Amino acid sequence: NAGVMQNPRHLVRRRGQEARLRCSPMKGHSHVYWYRQLPEEGLKFMVYLQKENIIDESGMPKERFSAEFPKEGPSILRIQQVVRGDSAAYFCASSPLPGDTDTQYFGPGTRLTVL
C-alpha cells in the first residue's frame, strides 16, 4: 500500500493522559500536514512539516500539542494531558516536493476519543 498510513486508527484516552498519533507519508513524498476535524466542523490545518523541520505550526494550539517529523520514522502528533475537547478525527496528508504539485493526499485518520 503506497498510500498515506496512520496509526492507530482509533485511540481512546482518559483525561490527562497523552496521545501519540503517527503518520507515514506516501512513498516519494517529503511533506506532511496534520489536520483536525471536530464533530460537525470542517477540516482545520494544524501543522506542516518536512523531515526534521517544522515549516508552519500556525494552526497548532499553543499548549499541549506538538509535532515532529524525524529523519527516520513517521511523523508524530503528540497531545499531552488530553481533555474532552480534543476528541476529534486527526488526519495526516502528504505531498511531493515543492514545485511539483501542491496536491495533498490524506491518510485514513486517527479518531481520538477522550473519556
Partner 1 sequence: QKEVEQNSGPLSVPEGAIASLNCTYSDRGSQSFFWYRQYSGKSPELIMSIYSNGDKEDGRFTAQLNKASQYVSLLIRDSQPSDSATYLCALNPTGGGNKLTFGTGTQLKVEL
Residues 73-102 within binding reach of partner 1 (CB under 8 A): 91, 93, 95, 98, 101-102
Task: Return the residue of 23, 24, 29, 48 that touches partner 1, per CB under 8 A.
Answer: 48
Residue 50 in the binding site for partner 1 (CB under 8 A): no
Sign for the CA dihedral angle at 108, 32, 54, 71 comes to positive
Task: For strands 10-13 and 110-114, give the pairing.
Answer: parallel
Residue 69 in the binding site for partner 1 (CB under 8 A): no
Indicate the residue among 40 and 72 with the shorter CB distance to partner 1.
Answer: 40
Q: What angle do CA 49, 53, 56 make, to 5 degrees?
A: 50
Q: Report the candidate in 22, 18, 15 with the shortest Cα–Cα distance to residue 107.
A: 22
Stretch that binds partner 1, among 14-22, 31-39, 61-69, 73-81 (CB under 8 A): 31-39
- Partnered with residue 10 across adjacent β-strands are 111
Indicate the residue among 94 and 114 with the shorter CB distance to partner 1.
Answer: 94
